[in-house]
Structure 1
């Protein structure tokens, strides 16, 4: 069994958006602690 390409693309897309949002927020609020694993590790 393989992961559907659509689902894989969606996962990568959400990951990229998460990182872009974090970068945008971090550029304005530099005092926030950096926790990169929050983007990659989902509950």
Structure 2
């Protein structure tokens, strides 16, 4: 099983997932509004 399938299986099972990396920057570049008082959590909370 590759890493993608492993990730999807864990996600479907309801496991807690921590995604590390420049995801906030990538989400902001795609136009998702960010909260001014929280570091790049606007997209994660929507």
Q: TM-score, normalised by structure 2?
A: 0.30
Which structure shows the higher helix fraction?
Answer: 1
* Bigger relative contact order (CA 8 A; separation at least 6): 1
